[in-house]
Chains A and B, each alone.
Chain A
Amino acid sequence: MKRTILWGTIFGAALIILSFVYPSKFLINLFTQILIMGLFATSLNLLIGYTGMVSFGHAAFFGVGAYTAGVILQKYSSSVLFAFGTTIVFSALAALIIGSFCIRLGSIYFAMLTLAFNQIIYIIVIRWTNMTGGDQGLIGGIPLPPFLSTPRAYFIFTVIVVVASLIICKLVVDSPFGAILKVIRENADRAYSLGIRVKSYQLIVFVMAGIFGGLSGALMSLSISGAYPDFCYWAKSAEPIFMVVVGGMNSFLGPLIGAAIFKVLIAFSTMYTNLWGLIIGGVLVLIILLVRKGLVDYVMELVANRSVDSPKRLLSPKETG
């Protein structure tokens, strides 16, 4: 536990120091987005990698978070703390409602039902024009307090929120609670017969994923000073899945690395061509066919296999299971 907090803090501090040592606004912008999408993907991986539930509607929470924080800061309050607090409550509520229906279903049905709820949230956002601005999005800018108004200040804020969230996630998955999740992932029936209340655990982790998904949405809406219906359109749900798979679903940091790869690839490809889909799609196909696992997972296994007396614990949980 101490190690997690220590390494998390070092990672966060390093990023912040780096932003002073090498103050490239381009990199600060890019890294802000990578961290936000990294948190989004990590929250989804709580479901996919740790509990074995493939959600295809995670953008619903990204949207709920983005709109809650955006609307509150634009219309009701100037307190960022209050906005984020409300975001957590609202995305938890949304996840509780959606989750209580979804967790009753098995794999592909689960994916389809999350997709359906995703679209229902999307239609609510589009139709609730008074509150959300409808299909135009929440426009006119989201006012930020002075201490967050420069890109670097917002970057530091993002680092703190994301790293703190990641540490919490890591502590949870390393806890006995996390161990039970893995048992459920490997064999829900066996877990059930051991007296584990499978559905309760699944619901709790669904709500957790919803909360962190909502937080990443809130960070995004403040970062670009607006919330838009695209945030909760089903296609948005495919992005974190991309990141999870490319980065690696069996390593905690896999999704974050996946987010970095996704964002860097898009930033690079749009600089030189309009055929970004061909490049992103091509990379994805290559990884799926050649590597057949996330890059971080792959590296972890290489490391584990190289050392002759490799202890089993270095292997990813899936391999030992």
Chain B
Amino acid sequence: MSVLLLKSRWKINPFTILAVVVLVCSFMIFSGPVCAEPIKIGFVSIMSGRVAMLGEEGAKGAQLAIDEINAKGGVIGRKFKLLTRDSTGKIEEAVRIARDYVVRDKVDFIMDGSSSRESFAVKEVSRDLKKLTMITASETTANTADPKIWTPYSFRTARVAIHDSIVGGFFAGKVSREFGLKKWYSISPDYAYGHDNTTLFFEYLKKNYPDFKIVGQQWPKIFEPDYTAHITKILKDKPDAVYSCLWGGDITAFMEQASLYGLFKRMKFFGINIADPLVLGALKKGVPAGMYTGGRYNPTIPETPANRAFGEKFKKKYGTYPSNWSWQSYTAVLFLEAAVKKAGTTDNEKVIKALEGLTIKAPCAQPPRETVTMRAKDHQMIYYTIGWAKTTSNPPYVTDRTYMPWNEILKEEAAYLKKKGWL
């Protein structure tokens, strides 16, 4: 029936157009650019849809580091080159892209800036193809800590959930003692990150301030648009303090809605993911003062010249301050540069040896240190800044920065890993 419609209406054969498009596409795939000169890093992440910010912000950070290194003439006489490709949010695409980077683009290193799920899948590629992979966004503790899924080929320069919780509990304990916060509440996203992070936070709060009780917990699903029912429930239960690890657009929506209910005026609020330029910049009606926040990225957390300079350089190039994902991928490139320099080659096995235990200067280092270290035993970066602060209404939006000494963080972490049977 539709044959008739088709013939009368269209003079140019539409199939020809399509055939040409498909042909051109496949031609471009099969004859892609081949160039062996620079040191290639294949960056795979989500760059479209709801969490496009992960990939976009991550790629910006890595590109800034690469531009700086190349301006100095590169390393071992070669320049860096960043390839970026959108996983489209599909895990099998992320895997395919990571494999393509290795077999077709012949990249020297993979960089994975995607969600935890994709990150676990890309980790399997690095194990399988024996390709060094820098993980720059996944914060799940298990990624580097669980021996069952550990591989020597992957390294992580992202913050880790367990560190965040230890420091969060330490900081919240301090504030609790000061104000006598006895009744606690939580509202966190209903997926592995939210549950793990929140449970651990309370575990460490207990260590620092045993005298509290949890009066209620809310688990909205990720990307939940409407929190009013959760907010009214919190208001009814009248806790002294609320903890939340909502992030991105979820925390801003929650804050807008909670402000209308006057929630922040009635109780202390601890949001681990608030101090990030993406979140604070999105709050068009101003940042509520007096909340407590973890410092994902802020040009003044840590308050060091190196961090300031990094923030300003980034802002000059892109117009906004870097976000959490930007400094993590930036640091990953710094590590790769130093390791390649030390190894004198991009041979992965040698670079891995060079990376293990490597200490480099980086803007994200927690004072008083100026360096971060790639821990040899589990390939996790340590000594990066984990700060907490109180919000203010004016830039840089934070004050009263507090840090926990890293030797104490490491002590707590070791105890946790032992308890989990991961050590």
Contact = CB atoms under 8 A, between A and B. Distances in A.
B120 A139 contact: yes
A291 B96 contact: no
B92 A271 contact: no
A126 B222 CA distance: 12
A260 B15 CA distance: 16
Interface stretch (B17-25, B74-82, B175-183): B17-25
Interface stretch (B98-106, B255-263, B281-289): B98-106
Contacts of A298: 15
Interface stretch (B26-34, B240-248, B272-280, B402-410): B26-34
Contacts of B84: 274
Given A264-B25, A291-B14, A291-B15, A136 B95 contact: no
Contact of A268 (B25, B88, B121): B25
A135 B91 contact: no
B128 interface: yes
B28 to A, nearest CB: 6
B90 A230 contact: yes
Contacts of A24: 103-104
Contacts of B146: 140
Contacts of A261: 22
Interface residues of B, number: 54
Nearest to B102: A25
Which of A224, A226, A231 has the most CB atoms of chain B within a 10 A radius of its CB?
A: A224
A261 B26 CA distance: 10
A44 B218 CA distance: 39
A82 B262 CA distance: 59
B8 interface: no
Interface in B7-55: 10, 14-15, 17-18, 21-22, 25-26, 28-29, 32, 47-49, 52, 55
Contact of B99 (A29, A264, A293): A29
Given A270-B97, A283-B21, A298-B15, A26 B88 contact: no
B366 interface: no
Nearest to A267: B29
A266 interface: yes
A277 B142 CA distance: 33
| 7 tightest Cβ-Cβ pairs between the two chains A and B | A25-B103, A290-B14, A26-B104, A139-B120, A140-B149, A274-B47, A135-B191
B2 interface: yes
Which of A33, A265, A290 has the most CB atoms of chain B within a 10 A radius of its CB?
A: A290
Nearest to B189: A135
Contacts of B373: none
B15 A33 contact: no
A140 B148 contact: yes
B91 A226 contact: yes
A137 B18 contact: no
Given A30-B96, A33-B92, A135-B191, A287 B148 contact: no
Interface in A258-292: 261, 264-268, 270-277, 283, 286-287, 290-292
Given A140-B148, A295-B15, A25 B3 contact: no
Contacts of B32: 271
B103 A29 contact: yes
Interface of A: 24-26, 29-30, 33, 126, 134-137, 139-141, 151, 220, 223-226, 228-231, 261, 264-268, 270-277, 283, 286-287, 290-293, 295, 298-299, 301-302, 305, 319
B229 interface: no
Contacts of A26: 99-100, 103-104
Which of A29, A220, A271, A301 has the most CB atoms of chain B within a 10 A radius of its CB?
A: A271
A225 B86 contact: no
A126 B14 CA distance: 44
B29 A268 contact: yes
Given A29-B100, A136-B140, A141-B124, A228 B22 contact: no
Interface of B: 1-3, 5-6, 10, 14-15, 17-18, 21-22, 25-26, 28-29, 32, 47-49, 52, 55-56, 84-93, 95-97, 99-100, 103-104, 116-117, 120-121, 124, 127-128, 140, 142, 146, 148-149, 191-192
A229 B192 CA distance: 12
Nearest to B119: A139
A276 B149 contact: no
A228 B99 contact: no
Contacts of B29: 264, 267-268, 271
Consensus secondary structure, chain A interface: helix
B104 A25 contact: yes
Given A29-B99, A264-B26, A291 B18 contact: yes
Given A137-B117, A230-B117, A268-B28, A287 B18 contact: yes
B106 to A, nearest CB: 11
Nearest to A30: B96
A226 B96 contact: no
Nearest to A228: B91
A293 B2 CA distance: 8
Given A230-B90, A264-B25, A224 B95 contact: yes
Contacts of A229: 117
A275 B15 CA distance: 24
Contacts of A305: 3
Contacts of A25: 99, 103-104
A126 B221 CA distance: 11
Contacts of A290: 10, 14, 17
28 contacts: A126-B191, A136-B140, A139-B121, A139-B149, A223-B92, A224-B92, A224-B95, A226-B121, A228-B117, A228-B121, A230-B89, A267-B96, A268-B25, A268-B28, A271-B32, A274-B48, A274-B55, A274-B86, A276-B48, A276-B86, A277-B88, A283-B18, A287-B18, A292-B6, A293-B2, A295-B15, A298-B15, A301-B3
B47 A141 contact: no
Contact of A266 (B14, B93, B149): B93
Nearest to B87: A270
Contacts of B117: 135-137, 228-230
Contact of A299 (B15, B22, B93, B96): B15
Given A271-B85, A277-B48, A291-B6, A230 B91 contact: yes
A134 B22 contact: no
A291 B6 CA distance: 7
A265 B97 contact: no
Given A224-B91, A295-B15, A319-B3, A268 B48 contact: no
A312 B104 CA distance: 46
A137 B117 CA distance: 7
B198 to A, nearest CB: 15
